[in-house]
Amino acid sequence: MIPTSNSSTLSSFSTAFVFSVLPQISTSPGFGLCFVLSNSTSPPGALASQYFGIFTNATSPTVAPLLAVEFDTGQNPEFNDPDGNHIGIDLNSIISAQTATAQYINSSNGSFVPLNMRTGQNVHAWIDFDGSNFEINVTVAPVGVSKPSRPTLNYKDPVIANYVASEMFVGFSASKTQWVEAQRILAWSFSDTGVLREINTTGLPEFFIESSSSSLSSGAIAGIVIGCVAFVIICGSGCYFVWRKKFREESEEEIEDWELEYWPHRFSYDELKQATNGFSNENLLGAGGFGRVFKATLPNTTEVAVKSVNHDSKQGLREFMAEIESMGRLQHKNLVQMRGWCRKGNELMLVYDYMPNGSLNRWIFDKPEKLLGWKQRLLVLADVAEGLNYLHHGWDQVVVHRDIKSSNILLDSEMRGRLGDFGLAKLYEHGQVPNTTRVVGTLGYLAPELATVAVPTASSDVYSFGVVVLEVVCGRRPLEMALEKEEEQVLIDWVRWLYGEGRLREAADARVREEYEGEEVEMMLKLGLACCHPDPSRRPTMKEVVAVLVGEEVGAASAELLNELARGGGSGSGSGREDSREEAPPV
């Protein structure tokens, strides 16, 4: 539930369920049941009866990832229970951190109405866990009553973070001793993304305390028989319609066993089709080598981007999904976050956060309506550098992006940069070489060594990032094929030539000349050339690049790092220009 080590924000979720608690003898002590979040399915030292099968009787419990919402139908004074019909928040202890009597608010007059949870009646419960605010809201009402506007219990305390872990089991627990008490969960809905699906409470069975009389009236017997027949008919009809729907869609949206290994959230095809207005052209954001991208609006009004990816075989799709599942675990503020997936046949749809301001290249090239300013360009480059540094050094595996370019850098609502499009990305263990046999990427951004060895590494990513730095600072594309002078066709060669001539500042984008200082723009151009060094071993790492871009003072960048480009003769882009091999003056 804790997304990353770089964030203190907890994940959020909502759940709703219908439960029934019915004692065999109305006067016997009760226990109830609880909704549980635990990092173990068998908590150590767990006891039965009033301990719900998950807590110990320790007087001083330790901090551990175990959190429960109890629906207690018995009073235990030693646990500070207020009564025998209450709700409580339990933090790895049977003694609740906060309790409230079971009741719900009347929407007509605003008063609370008592709710007895121990009569066998069906109780509708809602739990909303707000991780960002460390808040839990619990609401109960009889089945048939809409969710009340005010919760029955509200608990808010940052200490909640101490009782959750990155991975938690979720479910229910209850126990009993010599007193028999039937605890039933009749329906359940859970969501940690998007809108919680409503529970259909019609047709649920109802349970009542047995009468002390040894015989039933004829009317009661007739009612039971009619109810059972009606229930069987409803269940049979429901099963038939579900079978028909599944049979129609089986060939298109069949769930393979291996798919259950991946991802906690799978969107249905119909859900994404509705969200994209039938994958209409009006919702089309763009198209790339791996498929088309659509804008989608989920039922809760959340905007996302849906990328459609085609695969030739289910085996290839399975391997690709294994890689995508690993990518889903990458979480950083400067990466476009993946939210889920959907599969229909051999077509895989990936759901990402929607970036309202599009890609970086739209704000620099092709006469944009609003040109991106100098300071904002520096912020975006620093953002992307931090995201790429996380891929290379911040995870247990090295992630080589392999297709870094300005069109794959997206801008969020605050105009901050995020690195996107992991369609070509590959993972490998630190210190190992990735297994690949073909060159992938975009012309103009490819490191020169990929023409011979075809083995992308973190260093080749650094080269591509250097190209992005140069095109953002210069306001020019890596390959300007429309230019008449051949020596100016390749951006890297042109900037390196100006550097050798001692005219490096002339390479900067003249449209923002009034916004930058000369030393600052020189530092950025030198950084771009250093990243594009022809020798991969002499390029800086992304850790070093981040140190330059987010340091206290721009001018404090390591001179030793940037001086590497002075001896980086040769065309980093492979253009073969002779004068680009001249030795540049010292930095």
Return all residues near 369 (Cβ < 8 A) that are at least 6 apart. Answer: none
Q: Are 98 and 153 in contact (CB under 8 A)?
A: yes
CA separation for the pair 441, 460 (Å, rounded): 10
CA separation for the pair 241, 370 (Å, rounded): 55
Residue from 72, 81, 383, 403 carrying the catalytic annotation: 403
User: In the numeric block, which tokens belong to residue 93?
Assistant: 């202890």
Residue with tokens 């460390």: 134
CA separation for the pair 420, 351 (Å, rounded): 12
Residue with tokens 């690195």: 419
CA separation for the pair 246, 233 (Å, rounded): 20
Question: Residue 405 annotated as binding?
Answer: no
Return all residues near 66 (Cβ < 8 A) that are at least 6 apart. Answer: 36, 37, 38, 39, 40, 43, 54, 55, 91, 92, 163
User: In the numeric block, which tokens belong to residue 217?
Assistant: 């009236």
For residue 528, the one-letter residue type is G
Active site includes 579? no
Q: What b/e sequence results for 517-536 when a residue is b if at least 16 CB atoms lie within 10 Å of its CB, and e otherwise? A: eeebbbbbbbbbbbbbbbeb
Q: DSSP characters for 219-266? A: HHHHHHHHHHHHHHHHHHHHHHHHHHHHHHHHHHH---GGGGGS-S-B
Reduced to 3 states, what is the DSSP secondary structure of residue 448?
Answer: helix
Classify residue 305 as exposed, middle or buried by CB count within 10 Å of its CB (0-12, 13-18, 19+).
buried
Chain centroid to CA 534: how far? 37
User: In the numeric block, which tokens belong to residue 66?
Assistant: 């175990």
Q: Are 163 and 65 in contact (CB under 8 A)?
A: yes
In the DSSP assignment, the letter for residue 335 is B
Which residues are known binding-site members for ATP? 307
Which residues are known binding-site members? 307
- Please give the positions annotated as active site: 403
